[in-house]
Amino acid sequence: MYFEASPFSNSLTYDKVVLDFGSYYLCDDFFIMEVNEGEHFNWDKLNKLLDSLRSYYGTSKPLAYIANRVNAYSIDPVLWSYFDKDDSILIAAAIVSYRDSTYLSANIEKQMASIPLKRAHSLGEAINWVQQLHELS
């Protein structure tokens, strides 16, 4: 379910940002990303996203990331290795999978990630998980 079509868009305060490869929704302690259909999410797109996040949140606020995978796209799983660097503001992530193939890809990404990564079957499950993170309290 797209974030804006979900009941969470009515209950959470957020700002929407549209980039050429997708949209994301900036909440207090986390953001939700919806990448466009058919995109390949690579280093260039990651850096563009991180620059945008740093300009909105600053360079030291810890954030959680929710990948709301409503569209089919590819991602370079090696990107997850970036987040063990000291300059990353992302401290945890959740991947919402609506298809078996996406869930299988999330398994591979979980192995590559150096931050906690939850695989979820619904947007509500992912939002609930990030809201319970002690690092964001």
Which DSSP letter does residue 80 get? Answer: G
Task: Please state the pTM of the whole predicted model.
Answer: 0.92
Q: Please tell me the predicted confidence (pLDDT) of residue 84.
A: 62
What are the sequence ranges of the domains in the chain? 3-136
CATH level 3 topology of 3-136: Transcription Regulator spoIIAA (3.30.750)
Strand order in the sheet with 90-97: 15-19, 22-26, 30-35, 63-69, 90-97, 117-120
pLDDT tens track for 104-119: 888 888 888 888 999 9
Q: How far apart are CA 113 and CA 64, in angstroms?
A: 13
Terminal C-alpha separation, the chain? 27
pLDDT tens track for 10-48: 999 999 999 999 999 999 999 999 999 999 999 999 999
**Do 94 and 65 meet the contact criterion of CB atoms below 8 Å apart?**
yes
Residue 121's contacts (CB-CB under 8 Å, 6 or more residues apart) are: 96, 97, 98, 103
